[in-house]
Structure 1
Amino acid sequence: MPNRKLNARFFIVGCIGIAIALLMFYISLTSGTYPLTTPETFRTLFGLDHDPNHELVIFGFRMPRIVIGALVGLTLGMVGAVLQGVTRNDLADPGILGIQSAVGLAVVLYMFVVQGNIKEMSSFSIVGMSVWGWIGGMITAVLLFLFSRDRGELDPKRLILVGIALNAGFSALTLFISLKMNPQDFEMATVWLSGSIYSASWEQVISLLPWAVCIIPFLIWKAPILNVLQFDEVTITGLGVRANRERIILLFGAVGLISASVIVSGSIAFVGLLAPHISRRLVGIHHQHIIPISGVVGSILILTGDWIGKTLFAPAELPVGIVISIIGVPYFIYLLIRNSRKVTS
């Protein structure tokens, strides 16, 4: 169990992280093409200013976008920590395992089937996309289980290799189907696949919340099991933990959470890779600490990336997925080099 000093460090880092996330929340709320002063923002938030333009900007456009960004960052960061723990591989994330691309393929298929009828993110379209996305994620989980087993047990190393192969296949199918769409739907699918939250709505927030409320506490509750799964198989068995069963349960929980987040934001890469690495440097190796802090760091990354994308390139907007990728690719290369040095040394 983590000692008192590590718990104190976790508490301090968590408070600082939440403060930074709230600061980015405020900055995003007050910045944009329609500028709002601090008094105007707070008066509108607390119902003291009934200017319809201010209410529309804050409650109709900015608040849903910020809340979705925070929730998506929270889920992707936590899921990344869980997947790295399950696979015992620091390079694992939802994108590398093919889960994000599978959900993306399912949603693009949905767009293709109902093409011409998706003018906006209505409640009906969100429900339809949720069902299709969840099915895509579950199919990927089943394929990962089938092809990653070695003598009946889930092999963490083979899981990564199978995930990379599935990711490549699903991405190719997604591109093929999107090229068959009409121009309007193709444009919508392209923006969505790049990872964007600019069209966020309260319906999307409501569709993601139940998944987050149900699965996030479960993943945190399973954190001690993730600590045990870092040992070798003989030690895990000696401790009385059914490793294969626990990996499958954790993977299914992660797939459900990824599916829900990808549906509302598209495929935002590298958050699930970056957040756990940053968290381990801040709070150590215990998953009771890593998982919550990864969620906070993920929220900060998404909120910061979205703010950069909508302000630095104004009046045009750069999707948050592209901004995160610009940051994530160099860091991913750095991790590859560092891991290769560890292997050769």
Structure 2
Amino acid sequence: MWTKHLKKKGRQATVITVLIVLLFVAVWADINAGYRQITLAQLWQILTGHGEAGLTYTLIHLRLPRVLTSLLVGVGLAVSGCVIQGVSRNDMAEPGILGINAGAGLFVAGFIVFFSGSGLSASLLLPFLAFAGSVCTALVDYRLALTRQGLSPRRLLLIGVAMSTAISSVTTMLMLRMSDSEYAFVQNWLSGSIWGATWPNVVMLFTGLVLFTGFVFYKSRTLNVLTLGHQTATGLGVSVSRQTVILLGAAIAMSSLCCAVGGGLSFVGLVCPHLARRLVGPNFKILIGTTVLTGALLMTVSDIISRTLLSPNEISIGIVAAVIGAPYFLYLLIRS
């Protein structure tokens, strides 16, 4: 028994080490995904303040914010999906199914239709509007999912699907009133595009995700108990309704932050927890960290492909992530 436990721990350590190495390789490849290549010597010169001015500007102001934003968005969506799947005990759950992406898209489309000519700064307001749309949708979902016994996770998912469909329909009607350029922008945003790749957004994402991911990791034991079912968790002393609300709140906050910067990305929060679970098992103490790595790796690889596949044109990173994630998800369905 002890030998089996050691083998399991060794396998988990190997998986995590391989994912970390792959992530570093992917980040380096993403940094070099452009016309100008950056060698390790040039990178060292830039970091020590002796690099060429043009190359320094390209790395610090153009590539690094994009790379780090993609990575952080992948982390946030993956961990959010992991928590929602654990709380709802539904492997099909992910942030987009709650209508979070749709709510953000509605607020963005509404601003463009009704306030685009008001002189308000879109670049400053759109992230806040997207975040507000996500949170408002989540609050409506939560209110409608409340029952006499408290919050029903399965009811929440069903209401989320209905809300997402309804909000997407309203967004489509608003888009019909837009000009061609505005329509193209919103459509690109809805398909998932890292348009908010700036250092302020990187700092905001990093700070928020460190706090919420750390909190979720702290609650990993509670997540393990919740997966046993309502009656068993209650018998073990867990306040199921209260902990469900707290954990879903953390998951929604993470996905809303990512949606505000990365647009309507899908499949990341669905596929990455599945992949991590197959690699290291269902224990959330190990699963959360592995999900962080798989989410970061998927989005970094997607960013590389989106920028280089049809260069100089760029594909929406959300489309690439879906193309990568959908076949794996179909494979999971076939296997199960």
Q: Give the deviation of 1:54 after TM superposition.
A: 0.4
Q: 1:113 to 1:46 in 2, by over 3 A?
A: farther
**CA deviation digits over 1:228-284, x for unaligned, max 9?**
111122211111111111111111111111111111111111011111011011111
Q: Give the deviation of 1:207 after TM superposition.
A: 2.7
Instruction: State the partner residue of 1:86.
Output: 87
Instruction: State the partner residue of 1:34.
Output: 36
Q: Distance in 1 between matches of 2:315 and 2:120?
A: 22
Asked if the contact 1:148/1:162 (under 8 Å) is kept, the reply is yes
Instruction: State the partner residue of 2:46.
Output: 44
Q: 1:16 to 1:332 in 2, by over 3 A?
A: closer
Of the structure 1 ranges 34-43 and 79-88, higher mean CA displacement relative to structure 2 is found in 34-43
Residues 1:109 and 2:107 aligned together:
no
Name stretches of at least 5 consecutive residues in structure 1 with no aligned partner.
340-345
Instruction: State the partner residue of 1:99.
Output: 100
Instruction: State the partner residue of 1:342.
Output: none
Name stretches of at least 5 consecutive residues in structure 2 with no aligned partner.
none
**CA deviation digits over 1:199-228, x for unaligned, max 9?**
611122123223112211111111111111
Asked if the contact 1:64/1:201 (under 8 Å) is kept, the reply is yes
State the one-letter code of the partner of 1:250.
Answer: L
State the one-letter code of the partner of 1:158.
Answer: R
Q: Distance in 2 between matches of 1:281 and 1:131?
A: 36
| TM-score between the two structures when normalised by the length of structure 1 | 0.88
State the one-letter code of the partner of 2:295.
Answer: G
Asked if the contact 2:196/2:261 (under 8 Å) is kept, the reply is no
Identical aligned residues as a percent: 34
Matched length:
332
Q: 1:118 to 1:292 in 2, by over 3 A?
A: farther
Q: Give the deviation of 1:324 after TM superposition.
A: 1.0
State the one-letter code of the partner of 2:59.
Answer: I
Q: Distance in 2 between matches of 1:201 and 1:181?
A: 27
State the one-letter code of the partner of 1:90.
Answer: D
Asked if the contact 2:86/2:223 (under 8 Å) is kept, the reply is yes
Q: 1:337 to 1:157 in 2, by over 3 A?
A: farther
**CA deviation digits over 1:122-153, x for unaligned, max 9?**
xxx1xx33433333223222222233244433
Residues 1:265 and 2:262 aligned together:
yes
Instruction: State the partner residue of 1:291.
Output: 288
Q: 1:45 to 1:194 in 2, by over 3 A?
A: farther
Give RMSD over aligned pairs.
Answer: 2.3
| TM-score between the two structures when normalised by the length of structure 2 | 0.91
Look up the SS of the partner of 1:95 in the other structure.
helix
**CA deviation digits over 1:88-119, x for unaligned, max 9?**
01111111221222122223333444315577
Instruction: State the partner residue of 2:66.
Output: 65
State the one-letter code of the partner of 1:44.
Answer: I
Of the structure 1 ranges 70-79 and 183-192, higher mean CA displacement relative to structure 2 is found in 183-192
Look up the SS of the partner of 1:253 in the other structure.
helix
Look up the SS of the partner of 1:32 in the other structure.
coil
Residues 1:255 and 2:252 aligned together:
yes
State the one-letter code of the partner of 2:200.
Answer: E
Asked if the contact 1:73/1:298 (under 8 Å) is kept, the reply is yes
Look up the SS of the partner of 2:327 in the other structure.
helix
Q: Give the deviation of 1:189 after TM superposition.
A: 1.9
Q: Distance in 1 between matches of 2:31 and 2:42?
A: 11
Asked if the contact 1:115/1:182 (under 8 Å) is kept, the reply is no
